[in-house]
Structure 1
Amino acid sequence: MSERADLLIHARWIVPVEPADLVLEQHSIAINDGRILALLPQQQARQRYLAAKEVELPDHVLIPGLVNLHTHAAMNLLRGYADDLPLMRWLQEAIWPAEGKHISPGFVRDGTLLAAAEMLRGGVTTCNDMYFYPDAAAEAFDAIGLRAVVGMTITEFPTPYASDADDYLRKGLAARDRWRGHPRLGFSLAPHAPYTVADATLERISSIAGELEAPIHIHVQETSGEISDSLAAHGLRPLARLEKLGVLGPETIAVHSVHLDDSDIDRLARLHCNVAHCPTSNLKLASGIAPVPGLVEAGVNVGLGTDGAASNNRLDLFQEMRLAALLAKVSSQDAAALPAHQALRMATLNGARALGLDDRIGSLLPGKQADLCAVVLNDLNTRPCYDPVSHLVYVAGREQVSHVWIDGEARVNQGSALLQISDIELLRLSAVWQTKLVS
Structure 2
Amino acid sequence: MTTIRDIAKHVGQEVKIGGWLYNKRSSGKIQFLQLRDGTGFIQGVLVKKQVAPEIWEDAKRLTQESSVYVWGTVRSDERSATGYELDVTKLEVIQIADDYPISNKEHGIEFLMDHRHLWIRSRKQHAVLTIRAEVIRAIQNYLDTNGFSLIDPPVLTPSSCEGTTDLFHTKYFDEDAYLSQSGQLYMEAAAMAMNKVYSFGPTFRAEKSKTRRHLIEFWMIEPEMAFVEHEENLEIQEQMLTAVVKQVITNCKQELAILGRDLTKLENIEGPFPRITYDEAVAFLQKEGFPEFKWGDDFGSPHETLIANSYEKPVFITHFPTELKSFYMKPDPNRPEVCLSADLIAPEGYGEIIGSSQRIDDPILLEERYEAHDLPREAYQWYLELRKYGTVPHSGFGIGLERAVAWICGLEHVRETIPFPRMLNRMYP
| TM-score clears 0.5 | no
Greater share of helix: 1
RCO higher in structure (CA 8 A, sep ≥6) = 1
Give the alignment's TM-score, normalised by structure 2.
0.29
Select the structure of larger CA radius of gyration. 2
